[in-house]
Each structure stands twice: as C-alpha cells, then as structure tokens.
Structure 1
Amino acid sequence: MSGVNLYRGRLAPSPTGYLHLGHARTFWVAWHRARQHAGTLVLRNEDLDRDRCRPEYVTAMVEDLRWLGLDWQEGPDCGGPHAPYDQSRRHAWHVAVFEQLRSSGCVYPCVCSRKDVLQALGAPHAGEEEPVYPGTCRPEKRPQPIVVTDPARLRHRDAHGRRVNWRFRVPDGERITFADGAAGPQEFVAGRDFGDFVVWRHDDVPAYQLAVVADDHAMGITEVVRGADLLLSTARQLLLYHALGWTPPQFFHVPLMTDERGTRLAKRHDALSLRALRAAGAHPAEWGAEWEAWLAQTLPA
C-alpha cells in the first residue's frame, strides 16, 4: 500500500463542561500531529456521563474547537464511515466488546462500591486515579468462559439481584511497557500500580477504559494524543487490547498545563475556559505559534 497514508488521529472531548486552555493545547497537538502526517482526524463526542454531559456543552465544544482553527474529517457534525461519533450511541458495539471479554473469562462481577474499596484498603485516597482494588470479589481462579441466557440483566445484576460492576482481572506482577511519543519509555506493574479495574458499570454503561479501547479500535485510530494524566490508563488499556486480540495504537501523552500556582487546569477554571477567553477577545492564532515553538522545544520530533 505504498503511497497511502494510514495515519488516523482523534479529538475525544467529554461534554461535561466548557473546554479550557489546557484542553485547547492538547487538542491542538493532536490536530498538528495529524497535519504533520497528512492524516485523518476524527472528532468523537465522549458523552457517556449521563449526569454531567449537557447538549449545550456539545454545541460549545464544536464551536470552541472551530474557533481554535481546528478541523477534522469525521465527526458527529460531518459524519463519516465509522458513525455514529457520539459515544452514547455506540452502546451495541460496547456491549459486543464486553461480551467478548466476559465469554473469555477476563472479567468478573463485583458488588463493591468505591466507599467499600476505600474502607477495605484502610487508608485515605486522594486524586482522580482509582485506588488499587483489594480483590474483595475476585475469584481465586480466573473465571471459566460463561454463556448467559439473559446477558442484559446480568450486565448490571448478579444472581441475587445485587447491582454489580464488572472488573477486568489484571495479571498480577506483569510489567506493561510502551514507548510514548512524548513522555518516552513507560513501565507499570499490574497489581502494584493499578489493580482490577471496572470495564462495565452497574448502570449498564461501559466504563472509560473499555469504551475508549473499543471505539479507538473500531475507528482505526493509529495514534492517541491526550494528556499525561492518562499514562496509567494506557497500561490498563494495553491489557484490554491484548485480551481482545487487537493491535494497539501508538500513544503521545502531552504534558499538562497548570495555572500560576502550579495547579493542573480543570473545567472549574472558568476564567481560562475557551468561552471566557473568546469573550475577552483572545486570539487563538497567537497560541498556535506559541504552542508550535513549545512543541518543537519540548517534545521529540
């Protein structure tokens, strides 16, 4: 296939608030990488959080990305061969991927809440990273492949009617290594740096790790550009790729942007939201020139 460019990147914002300057830089890098490779860029609306996603944030997301000067070839606003591009409309595909994991014995049901996990660990846990699961519901041996007669019910209820999350059983002690395009060589140990993680939630919605792997694979993404806070998630996702027999994409984790106090930018930083910056008369072309110089100095070519 000489002469055919197969690079496929993606923008994958979650409409749980207005995009801020840190999002802008990461998405600009993803756009820039796709342009460097003369590739295809996909916009995917990751709207699985039913409680926090809002239609107005979806509208603002597209408007803000366009205002930044970014463009894409596939997405919810322009269609494409891998539609739908709203993650909430891809439920049947997510179910099929989950059932593949369940039928192969890679996952098991868990009745533990986050509070239960923290109490079992006997120590406080700070930050957004999920704590290492202590194995309360983990079977002693890897579950045998199972066939269920009512798969929809058993995705979120056990035989006793209790609500369950489904966890992926990690291979304790296995080292997961990968070469990140921005952060360099990475190594994590399953069972130490992260434990058995949720892939399907009790409200019958896929967890982030499963949904992202399923959709990046289905959409043929060859490089994932995202924030450095997701490096550990990449280790989990590589295990899912292996369990599903899929080839993973390359990864490029961009350093996070911080405020003047060194605090990572979040959607609560209203003054640095792209909405507020637009209203204040900011000019994104100036950021692009600054980010291009930063990219050349900070990250490998």
Structure 2
Amino acid sequence: MPQNSSTYRGRFAPSPTGPLHFGSLLAALGSWLMARQAGGVWLVRVEDLDPPREVPGAAERQLAALRAFGLESDETIVHQSERGALYQAALDRLLASGDAFVCHCSRNDLADDGGIHRTCIAARTRPDPAIRFRVPDGTVLEFDDAIQGPFAQNVAADVGDFVLRRADGLWAYQLAVVVDDAAQGITDVVRGADLLDSTPRQILLQRALGLPIPRYAHLPLVLGEDGRKLSKSTAALPVDPADPLPALHAAWRALGQEPLPSDAATPAALLGSMRERYDPSRLPRTPALSLAALHNVRDTKRD
C-alpha cells in the first residue's frame, strides 16, 4: 500500500470505447481513494490511441460521468492522441539503442507460434512494418504488486518481442502508457487486474528508457454474469450519472470496505465519508469479482 507522501501521484486512464461502466467506476474510485489516503494528487488521462475502436463522443461522456460521481482530475486532463511526439522520441531512443527493431512479420507468419515473436520469419518485406521491443531469451520479470502480491512472468516465452508501433501506424498501449506515466510523474499505478500481465512489459520498457518505475496495485476485475470483462460483456450497462450514489456505494462494497451510512445526500459528502473510512487492508486479493457475488464482497478481506 502507498505510504503517506505529498509526492504521491496516481491516475485513472479510461479508453473511450463506450460509456463509463461499473468496472471503470471501481478502478476510478479505487485509484482516487489510494491517492487521497496518501495525501497526493489524482489525475485523469484519456487513452484515445485506437480510433477504430473508439466511440464518437465517448471520452466526453466518460469525463462528464466522472464529474457527476465527484471524481475530478487535480490537473489538466491529458489526451494520448495529442502526444505522438513524445512516443516517437522514446521509440527513436529504443531503435538507436537496439532495444527496438523493425519487424515485417504478419499475424499469419506468427500463427504457428501462437502469435509470439521470437525471431523474424517474414517471407517478404512489408510497406508498413511494425516496430517491436527486443526481449532477450530467458527474460523473466518479477515484481511485488501491492494488492495481488508477488507476480512473475517469463516475458520471452509468454509474450515475446512485443509491438511498440503497429503496422497500421498506431502507437501500442505499452509504449504510450510508460511514456505518459513518466512524463506526468506518476508514482503509483492503481488499475484493474486485467492489466497485471502487461506490467512486466512496462517495467522492461521503463528500464530500457531509464525511467522511474512506479509502484503497482491491481484491483479486482469485475466480470459480467457471462464471465467476461465488463467492457466486453453484455452485462456492461453504463452507470447512471444522474443517480450516482447507488453505484458509488456498490463500488465501495466491491473494494471490500465496511458499509457506509446511507445518509449522504451528494457524491461529495459520500466521497468524504469514504476518504475517512477507507481501509486498504480490506481490498480483495482475488484478481476477479463477478457481478453476482458483489453483495458478498464486503465480507472479503485480504489474508
């Protein structure tokens, strides 16, 4: 858990692929509470790097929903779509150091290896090659997650050489998030457990670029009744900004916290009570929670 420090800087970084749903609210509230407990700042960053997947107007609606829930960025909101020059500078450094390379392999080329790239096997050059990060053989990355505990990944075998800039010219998430976390001085990354296995790749990039490595804490991922991540689930109904208190209470319970009195009349009042009573030791250590089980979450404590 983060220690009290005026230098704590956390963030919430939604992708504008649809309305704010309960899983996103849980991540936003969890990261906000961690920042407030540490006496630090909490930022919002819009991760709009993938235009084909974005829903027009979704970013504005997500930000409006966050405001309705009382969760507002302490600093100017950053949009990744406006930060390509920063990503290019980082990519140029990686290419110059040999940590990145141009790759002409297609998905079909890598299909027999499960999509994992270990060496270039393309039969022909492409006019639109990708750029990958070079993962040396035997690379195993270990780190201690503040919620999920020790985590280890054989990046070479399980992930392989990963993409930094896609063949369609779009920036890959792994590079952009590392560059932006460093540029914004993020000290603590609190997010959903679906990104737990991305963290080793990000730490490798931070090391290669000589960037600070934040502390990581991965909150339980909320799954729909169909067992899928809410952003991909038929159960992913948007939270209602016009009636924010019930969803805030539900997210609080999903974070394993003791129920709060229901007399708060505004989101600001409710968030004030949460800030006073938040107990990080009660955060569920399970990597996933189902919507159906959330009514029991308040009795789940960490070991």
Short-chain TM bin: 0.7 to 0.9
Deviations along 1:234-262, one digit per CA (max 9) or x if unpaired, are 10111111111112101011111122343
Question: Does residue 94 of structure 2 align to residue 101 of structure 1?
Answer: yes
State the partner residue of 1:12. Answer: 13
Structure 1 residues 291, 69: closer, same or farther in 2, change over 3 A? farther
State the partner residue of 2:247. Answer: 284
Q: Which amino acid aligns with 2:119?
A: G
Q: Is the 8 A contact 1:18 1:267 kept in 2?
A: no
Aligned partners of 2:244 and 2:198: how far apart in 1?
36
Deviations along 1:190-228, one digit per CA (max 9) or x if unpaired, are 211210000012333321110000000010000111111
Q: Which amino acid aligns with 2:89?
A: A
Q: Is the 8 A contact 1:31 1:71 kept in 2?
A: no
Indicate the SS of the match to 2:216. strand
Indicate the SS of the match to 1:108. strand
Question: Does residue 117 of structure 2 align to residue 133 of structure 1?
Answer: yes
Aligned partners of 2:235 and 2:68: how far apart in 1?
18
Aligned partners of 1:288 and 1:161: how far apart in 2?
47
Aligned partners of 1:256 and 1:288: how far apart in 2?
12
State the partner residue of 1:40. Answer: 41
Q: Which amino acid aligns with 1:298?
A: P
Question: Does residue 162 of structure 2 align to residue 197 of structure 1?
Answer: yes
Aligned length: 260
State the partner residue of 2:197. Answer: 232
Compute the displacement of 1:279 (Å): 6.6
Indicate the SS of the match to 1:5. coil
Cα RMSD after superposing both structures: 2.5
Deviations along 1:236-291, one digit per CA (max 9) or x if unpaired, are 111111111112101011111122343332245365222xx457887234225424
Q: Is the 8 A contact 1:34 1:41 kept in 2?
A: yes
State the partner residue of 1:208. Answer: 173
State the partner residue of 1:50. Answer: 51
Question: Does residue 291 of structure 2 align to residue 298 of structure 1?
Answer: no
| Identity fraction in percent | 39
1:1-301, aligned counterparts within 5 Å? 5-76=6-77, 85-118=78-111, 120-121=112-113, 131-137=115-121, 162-269=127-234, 272-274=237-239, 277-278=240-241, 283-294=246-257, 296-299=282-285
Compute the displacement of 1:175 (Å): 1.9
Question: Structure 2 length as normaliser, TM-score?
Answer: 0.78
Aligned partners of 1:232 and 1:281: how far apart in 2?
32
Aligned partners of 2:35 and 2:73: how far apart in 1?
9
Structure 1 residues 200, 90: closer, same or farther in 2, change over 3 A? same
Q: Which amino acid aligns with 1:105?
A: G
| Bigger fraction of residues in helix | 2
Query: Unaligned stretches of 5+ in structure 2?
Result: 258-279, 286-301
State the partner residue of 1:144. Answer: none
Structure 1 residues 137, 98: closer, same or farther in 2, change over 3 A? farther
Aligned partners of 2:131 and 2:209: how far apart in 1?
16
